[in-house]
Amino acid sequence: MPKISEKGMAMPASPIRKLVPFAEEAKRKGRKVYHLNIGQPDIPTPEIAMKAIHNCDIKVVEYSHSAGIESYRKGLANYYKGIGIDITHNDIIITNGGSEAITIAFMTCLNPGDEVIIPEPFYANYNSFAMQAGVVVKPIVSSIKNDFALPAVSEFEKLITPKTKGIVICNPNNPTGYLYSKEELEQLASIVKKHDLYLFSDEVYREFCYDGNAHFSAMQLPGLENNVILLDSVSKRYSMCGVRIGAFITLNKEVYSTAMKFAQARLSPPSFGQIAAEAALNTPADYFKEVYDEYIKRRDFMVAALNRMEGVYCPKPKGAFYTVVKLPIDDSDKFAQWLLEDFEYNNQTVMVAPATGFYSTKGLGKNEVRIAYVLKIEDLKIAMECLEVALKQYPGRTL
């Protein structure tokens, strides 16, 4: 029998999706599973985007330009100008989701063996994208003790080697919900300038910033025009994860022209996804106001409920719709599986994401889980009740 490739064997499994078989088995047993494990919002996709697909009367679904439909790129450039990011449509490559944007960025800017520094915990698939590109992830630990703030410049400096070529950030952060401030980004800029690094800035959750905190983009850092690669997606902004439309954006013309070769090799991004995404640019402001208010309500309820539980600490997220929570447990992987295999409360249970999958450093995240507050309040209330009962019954409880 032919052997699987070394890269295939080394490719990490999704820490979120690897528990799916256990969730499916729980459902087969008749249990209701409340999904706190994945960032799939239950917020309706904007009606204007859905109508654009339903009313589409094209006769042939053709390839689009490899950079994406020009009218969409122009509309997207206007969106960015409206939030203080001065670009044109010729700085944008539309991608198959934010995932492809990150992969193209790594393949364009980095050689096999090059190193990128990423504050951890981080979006688990960064490991997968780096593996595909032969890139080495150098994690720098952020701590729940200070709610996962950006580590000090001195800590970054300790990790810089001749192989260091970039820094990756997610702002607002998945999985922690932390929002990096302008001052923190300026600290990062000093490192990027000093060592002439790339700054890969994943800003997928830009619209979700709370408590009066404003989002500051890496593209707004002066003097880094040739260093910053902006990575974006419509998945969360418009609650349409399945359309698979993202964006790779840079003012560095050499990087852009090189990235276009990768874009050309995969021909074009999805046509119907671009039609929906272009229409979504005209989503009414009241849609975002309603979404914002809903997430604030969910966040505040969940944070309060978690922090009332004995031995639990939940930071208050400043952005996105996730938080990493410290629990009184011995092993988050075992706990997450136990919830699905062995636990039930009124024939219900919850599914969480073990935080171990969001750390690159072995051993970290053992007593932490990521929770996504993407369920309506009525479901969140039941989910929190289930979790509180589960923590009291779990055999590996540490209190």
Per-position DSSP letters for 120-139, written without gaps between them: ES--THHHHHHHHHTPEEEE
pLDDT at residue 107 is higher than 80: yes
User: Tell me: the pLDDT tens digits for 362-386?
Assistant: 999 999 999 999 999 999 999 999 9
Q: How far apart are CA 166 and CA 137, in angstroms?
A: 10
Question: Which residue would you say has higher pLDDT here, 34 or 16?
Answer: 34
| Residue indicated by tokens 């994945």 | 38
Q: What is the DSSP letter of 205?
A: T
Domain 60-280 CATH (choose: 3.30.470.20, 3.40.1550.10, 3.40.50.300, 3.40.640.10): 3.40.640.10
User: Tell me: the pLDDT tens digits for 255-272?
Assistant: 999 999 999 999 999 999
pLDDT of residue 12: 85
Task: List helix spans (H) across the chain.
Answer: 6-10, 20-28, 47-54, 70-82, 97-109, 125-133, 153-159, 182-195, 253-265, 271-280, 285-308, 332-341, 377-393
Give the list of residues 6+ apart from residue 288 with CB closer than 8 angstroms, or none.
207
Listed residue (206, 236, 296, 207) closest to 45, CA to CA = 236
Rg of the chain over Cα atoms, rounded to whole angstroms, equals 21
pLDDT at residue 15 is higher than 80: no
pLDDT of residue 198: 98
Q: Where are the domains of the chain?
A: 6-44+286-393, 60-280
pLDDT of residue 257: 98
Orientation of helix 125-133 relative to helix 97-109, angle to 10°: 40
Q: How far is CA 162 from the centre of its chain?
A: 29
Backbone angles phi, psi at 110, to 5 degrees: -125, 145
pLDDT of residue 339: 98
User: Tell me: the pLDDT tens digits for 170-205?
Assistant: 999 999 999 999 999 999 999 999 999 999 999 999
User: Tell me: the pLDDT tens digits for 339-351?
Assistant: 999 999 999 999 9
Mean pLDDT in residue range 232-250: 97
pLDDT at residue 17 is higher than 80: no
Which residues partner with 167 through β-bridges?
Answer: 117, 199
Largest Cα–Cα distance of the chain, in whole Å?
64
Q: Please report how many Cα atoms fall inside a 13 Å half-sphere around the Cα of residue 40, on the Cβ side.
A: 10
Q: How far apart are CA 380 and CA 299, in angstroms?
A: 10
* Cis peptide leading into residue 41 (ω within 30°): no
Paired sense of beta strands 353-354 and 348-351, if any: unpaired
Fold exhibited by the domain 6-44+286-393 = Aspartate Aminotransferase, domain 1 (3.90.1150)
Q: Which pLDDT band, with edges at 50, 70 and 90, does 57 fall under? A: very high
Cβ atoms of 294 and 208 closer than 8 Å: no
pLDDT of residue 16: 73
Mean pLDDT in residue range 228-241: 97
pLDDT of residue 13: 79
pLDDT of residue 14: 79
pLDDT at residue 38 is higher than 90: no
Return mean pLDDT, the chain.
96
